[in-house]
Amino acid sequence: MSIKHPILRRIALAVAALAAAYWLFADTVRHYTHRPADPNLIRFSHFGTYQDFQTWGEVLRAFEAEHPGLRVRQEYVSGWYGMYDTKLRRQILSQTLPEVVLVQYGPFQSIAEHFEVLDDGLGDPGAPRSAGILLDELDPIALSCFQVDGRQRGLPVSGGPRDSETLRGSGADPLMTRRPA
């Protein structure tokens, strides 16, 4: 069936061109269209084995249970750190870095300027416990690894508590958290 009328032919061609343009550029338009972000969603990015995925999933479910107004979306890359590092660098370039990122120390130093400076009140002894980890409970050497120009840009996943009394009171397995003397 051919379209004989020139106006209908132009309309059909315009519709086809718009459909092709949408198909080609829809994700670009979505990227540059500033939609309001969900203030109750925290994106958490990590890597590792399937067991790591399950462990972090349990931690995130416990966090959501303790903070009912917040949701955490787990963004996971299976396997070795190299693939994950590539993903992080692409997210930095596209300005889509998640709010919480698990990063090893070495690569952290090369991308630290892209992370926010942590709230100065995080280490405030008067801050409520539910506000987060108090910095004085973490190992100072581990903390210093995630500082840039004296400002805290990350927190260690391991490296605290400093004293054995805190450890004993926490109910943690001392064999899993023991540090060399």
List the CATH number of the domain containing 97.
3.40.190.10
- pLDDT at position 14, please? 93
- pLDDT at position 34, please? 62
* Shared domain check, 30 and 75: no
Please tell me the total count of domains within the chain: 3
Q: Is residue 64 part of a domain?
A: yes
Of 73, 64, 70, 81, which is closest to residue 45 (Cα–Cα)? 73
* Shared domain check, 128 and 75: no
* Shared domain check, 180 and 123: yes
pLDDT, tens digit, 9 for 90 and up, residues 107-158 = 787 788 887 777 655 545 455 544 445 666 777 777 788 888 888 888 777 6
Q: Is residue 108 part of a domain?
A: no
Judge contact between 46 and 52, C-beta under 8 A: yes
Inter-CA distances, 60 with 13, 55, 75, 173, Å: 51, 9, 12, 20
* Shared domain check, 81 and 61: yes
Q: Is 158 helix (H, G, I), strand (E, B) or coil?
A: coil
- pLDDT at position 135, please? 64
Rounded Cα distance between 143 and 151, Å, is 10
Judge contact between 155 and 116, C-beta under 8 A: no
Judge contact between 38 and 70, C-beta under 8 A: no
pTM: 0.58
pLDDT, tens digit, 9 for 90 and up, residues 13-65 = 999 999 998 888 877 776 666 666 788 889 999 888 899 899 999 999 999 99
Which residue range forms the structural domain that includes residue 21?
1-35
Domain boundary residue among 103, 131, 149?
A: 103
* Shared domain check, 49 and 20: no
Q: Is residue 181 part of a domain?
A: yes
* Shared domain check, 61 and 3: no
Q: Is residue 97 part of a domain?
A: yes
pLDDT, tens digit, 9 for 90 and up, residues 58-85 = 999 999 999 899 999 999 888 878 888 8
Rounded (to 5) percent helix, strand, coil in the chain: 50, 15, 35
* Shared domain check, 170 and 149: yes
